[in-house]
Each structure stands twice: as C-alpha cells, then as structure tokens.
C-alpha cells in the first residue's frame, strides 16, 4: 500500500493513513471491554435478567454460592427492594435459591446466595428485582448488576 502512495500528494497519503488507523481501531475496539465488566440494568419496567451458565464458569466441580454484585443504585425515595435468585435448568424448570435486600435501599454491594447443590453446568441464573413498596409512577429506580459469578467456597 505504501509503495502505491509514493509520488502522491502528502495530503492523500496522510488521509489514507488516518483512514487505515481508524478502520483498525474500530475493528479492534470490541475486545477492549472485558466480559466480566458487562453490566445488566434493571428498573421498574425491566425487573429481571437471565444469565446463561457458560463453560467458562467451570461448574463441573459445582459451586457453593452464587454471587451478585450490585454496582449502582438510583433509588432516591429508597423504596424497599428485594432480589430473588433462581436457577433455571436447561429443561426450563426453576428452583429458588434465595433472596437478598439492599440496606439502606440505595446502597450497592456484593451479595451471596447459597447454591444448595442445585446449580449445574447448564441452564441459567434468573435474578428478579421486587419493589416491595407501592411506587409513585413519576419515580424511577435503576439498578446496575455485574455479571453473576459462582463461588466454590
């Protein structure tokens, strides 16, 4: 490519180089975000998420706990929030694992729920947010949760 640009005006060579770098940057940018940094968002309209269990989760040896990390909470009126964690088998059967609440109701944190020996290498974890209080339609609640992880001990 460089040999084809010899003898061409400097501005043309400059534009070709900038375009090449821009294309390379766009094509590589998808790999910059680590999957563990992925965030799920919940609000008063979208109250549950489903995270598939993948081979990289390495649950062949099982796990003792499911860990949910709530990283951001927007809940100005501090409505009581409860999070229910369920395991959904590959056949679609759901098993409740447990629940946790934020305290205070706008405080993020890491929460563990016992897996009870029920979480397998296939299926999914379902996380549902329950707003315990009657909410004013003008108010909003927003919660950001990191990718759910599995603890062996």
Domains of the chain, earliest start first: 2-32 (no CATH), 35-151 (2.60.120.260)
Token digits for 7?
Answer: 């003898």
What residues form DSSP beta bridges with 40?
145
Residue 16, pLDDT above cutoff 90: no
H or E element in which residue 10 lies: helix 10-28
Comparing 63 with 15, the larger pLDDT belongs to 63
Q: How far apart are alpha carbons 112 and 99 in whole angstroms? A: 9
Residue 85, pLDDT above cutoff 50: yes
Residue 23, pLDDT above cutoff 60: no
CB of 108 within 8 A of CB of 73? yes
pLDDT at 17: 45
Q: What is the mean pLDDT of residues 16-25?
A: 42
Residue 79, pLDDT above cutoff 70: yes
Residue of 76, 20, 22 lying closest to 44 (CA atoms): 76
Q: How far apart are alpha carbons 126 and 98 in whole angstroms? A: 11
Q: 147 to each of 12, 18, 22, 58, how far by Cα in Å?
A: 46, 36, 31, 15
For the chain, give the number of residues. Answer: 153
H or E element in which residue 13 lies: helix 10-28
Q: What are phi and psi of 75, to 5 degrees?
A: -150, 70
């Amino acid at each position: 490519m460089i040999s084809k640009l010899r003898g061409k005006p400097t501005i043309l060579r400059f534009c070709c180089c900038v375009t090449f770098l821009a294309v390379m940057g766009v094509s590589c940018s998808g790999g910059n975000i680590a999957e563990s940094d992925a965030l799920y968002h919940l609000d008063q309209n979208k109250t549950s998420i489903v995270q598939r269990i993948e081979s990289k989760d390495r649950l062949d040896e099982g796990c003792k706990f499911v860990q949910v990390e709530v990283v951001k909470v927007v809940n100005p009126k501090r409505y009581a929030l409860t999070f229910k964690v369920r395991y959904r088998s590959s056949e679609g059967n759901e098993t409740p694992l447990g629940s946790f609440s934020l305290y205070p109701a706008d405080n993020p944190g890491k929460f563990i729920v016992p897996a009870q020996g029920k979480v397998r290498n296939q299926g999914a974890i379902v996380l549902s947010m329950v707003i315990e209080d009657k909410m004013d339609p003008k108010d909003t609640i927003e919660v950001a949760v990191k990718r759910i992880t599995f603890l062996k001990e």
